Amino acid sequence: MRKDGAALRNLAILGATITVMVIVSVLIVRYVI
């Protein structure tokens, strides 16, 4: 049960990282480049 929680947390961190990368990239391309 707790191991599932740890795996879910890891997945959430990976998902959040990719989302932030995409959003910030779009903002950089839109406003900086």
Partner 1 sequence: MKTLCFLSPDIGHTRQVVEELKNLGITEKHIFVLAKYGVDIDDLPDAGPDSDDFLPGYKRGLELGGTAGVLAGLTALAFPPAGIVVGGGLVLLLGLWAAGIGGIMAGIAGASYSNSRLEAFEVAIEAGQILVMADVPKNELDKVELAIKRLDPHIKAKGVKPQTMLIP
Binding site for partner 1 (CB under 8 A): 2-3, 5-6, 9-10, 13-14, 17-18, 20-21, 24-25, 28-29, 32-33
As measured in angstroms, the least distance from the Cβ of 2 to partner 1 is 4
Q: How far is the CB of 4 from partner 1 (least distance, A)?
A: 10
Tokens of 2: 């707790």
Smallest gap, in angstroms, from Cβ of residue 24 to partner 1?
6
**Alpha-carbon distances, residue 3 vs 8, 23, 28 (angstroms):** 9, 30, 37
Tokens representing 23?
Answer: 């959003």
Which DSSP letter does residue 2 get?
A: H
